[in-house]
Amino acid sequence: MTNGQEQNRPPYDAKKYRTPDGIPADIVMFTLTKQERRAATKSLPIFDLKVMLIRRKSWPFAGAWALPGGFSQEDESLYETASRELMEETGVEGRHLEYLGVYSKPGRDPRGWIISHAFFAFVEEWVLEKRKAADDAQKVGLFTMKEALEELELAFDHREILKDAYKRIQQQMLQTTIAKQFLPEHFTLSELYQVIQTVVPDFAELNFIRKITSTRSRQGILEEVRDENGQPLLSNQYSQRPAQLYRFTDFTPQLSIYT
CA 119 to chain centre: 8
The residues near 21 (Cβ < 8 Å, ≥ 6 apart) are 111, 112, 113, 114
**Taking CB under 8 A as the rule, which mask of x and - marks residues 92-111 in contact with its own copies?**
-------x-xx-xxx----x
H helices present in 25-157, as ranges: 78-90, 125-134, 145-146
Instruction: Give the residue from 88, 123, 82, 74 showing the smallest Cα distance to 102.
Output: 82
Residue 138 interacting with its own copies (CB under 8 A): no
Which residue, 144 or 190, has its beta carbon nearer to DNA? 190
CA distance 31 to 132: 13
Q: Considering CB distances under 5 to 8 angstroms, the limit depending on partner class, which of its own copies, DNA, none binds residue 144?
A: none
Which residue, 63 or 232, has its beta carbon nearer to its own copies? 63
Residue 200 interacting with DNA (CB under 7 A): no
* Dihedral pair phi/psi, residue 176, rounded to 5°: -130, -175
Among 2-10, 92-100, 116-124, 186-194, the segment contacting DNA (CB under 7 A): 186-194
The reply to whether omega before 60 is within 30° of 0 (cis) is: yes
Q: Which residues make up the interface to its own copies (CB under 8 A)?
A: 1-3, 5-6, 8-12, 14, 17-23, 57-60, 62-63, 71-79, 99, 101-102, 104-106, 111-113, 115, 117, 174-177, 196, 203, 205, 208, 211-212, 218, 221, 252-259
